Chains A and B, each alone.
Chain A
Amino acid sequence: MQGMSPIVKKVTQLVMGFIFVYGIYVITHGHLTPGGGFAGGAFLSGTFILLVLSFGSNILNLRREEEEASEIEGLAIFTFLLLAVVGFLIGMRVFFGNFLPKGQIGELISAGVIPLYNIAVGVEVGAALLTIFLALVIYKEEISK
């Protein structure tokens, strides 16, 4: 895939970091402000999609990235499930039980395991969307060859 014009590349360089950090903010503050894992994960994947679209990339690099994104996605959903099982094993003995102390409502570290669930889902959604995008790009490159 060919890259875009220098203007697009420069704007991407300037904006990308902010979007990424905002995605992390949305994920980690999911239990305090609107948003959460699903929305923040879309931000994270959007950053990488913007990067690939504006700079273009050769297919070999993309294939490696696709594999890694797929692996990270599997690990994230495994973590999510693991947290649910840990909730089943300790504390109230309920699947998806909240086994950590709840803390003060409104603080960043509160609500027990909900922030951890949010992070796992955020990583999972981000990696999943990125994997689908990369799969489509690689397919198009292979077809046009």
Chain B
Amino acid sequence: MEITLSVLLLFMIFGAIYALFASDLLSALISCGIVGYGLVICFLLLRAPDLAIVQIVVETITLIIMVAVVLDSTRHDLREKVLIREKGNSYINAKYVFNVLTVLVLALFFLFFFNQAIDKLDAFGEHTTRMAKAYIEQGAERTGSANLVTGILFDFRGYDTLGEATILFTAVVGVLTILRLKGHK
């Protein structure tokens, strides 16, 4: 399982690096999608199907919205590209064959890992709750907090809370940026 996970992570890193150096926004977005869907399979491999479902939904919605925005803002460039392509000789040349092959290889790659991850999941209704049991039994003793929820939230799951606080911070920064008619001087 560790090998599968490392291969996936390597793949995601390549996707992220390609997104940085891509020539146009659309291909950068698609390679970001590789990172997102790779994360889905990582979650499945680590036996967290709930997170995987959330990640699929969020990733798909964001990707669709971002692709719509990119297509809308770069419509002129795209139309020019299409015109240039129609002037060329034929659709079947080395570039298109390469593109189709890449898509097929990526799809098979994801399907293979998805299949492996699904096989490793627990049977329906028999999920592993080892961590939850440990939290309930040793929570008060190990955190010293009488309120178990706060003990878990700020001690065992400190990273989660940091993420939540960061999300709130980012939301505020976003609101302040969008709702500003005149820029700061």
Contact of B155 among A32, A73, A98 (CB under 8 A): A98
Contacts of A124 in B (CB 8 A): 165, 168-169
Contacts of B146 in A (CB 8 A): 31-32, 105-106, 110-111
Contact A96 B158 (CB under 8 A): yes
A interface: dominant SS: helix
Contact of B151 among A31, A81, A84, A106 (CB under 8 A): A31
Contact B172 A121 (CB under 8 A): no
B interface: dominant SS: helix
Give min CB distance, A115 to chain B, whole Å.
9
Contacts of B62 in A (CB 8 A): none
Q: Compute how far the CA of A112 lies from the CA of B150 in the bound complex, rounded to whole angstroms.
A: 12
Contact B150 A31 (CB under 8 A): yes
Number of interface residues of B (CB under 8 A): 27
Whether A8 sits at the interface, judged by CB under 8 Å, is no
Number of interface residues of A (CB under 8 A): 40
**Contacts A32-B146, A96-B158, A105-B140; is A114 near B151 (CB within 8 Å)?**
yes
Give min CB distance, A97 to chain B, whole Å.
9
Contact B176 A114 (CB under 8 A): no
**Contacts A31-B147, A36-B147, A128-B171; is A114 near B179 (CB within 8 Å)?**
no
**Contacts A33-B147, A114-B150; is A132 near B169 (CB within 8 Å)?**
no
25 A-B contacts (beta carbon < 8 Å) = A73-B172, A74-B169, A77-B165, A77-B166, A84-B158, A84-B162, A98-B143, A103-B144, A110-B144, A110-B145, A111-B143, A111-B144, A111-B150, A114-B144, A114-B154, A114-B155, A118-B150, A118-B154, A124-B169, A125-B165, A128-B171, A131-B176, A138-B179, A139-B179, A143-B181
Which 8 pairs from chain A and chain B are nearest by CB? Answer: A96-B158, A102-B144, A111-B145, A31-B145, A111-B144, A139-B179, A117-B154, A128-B168
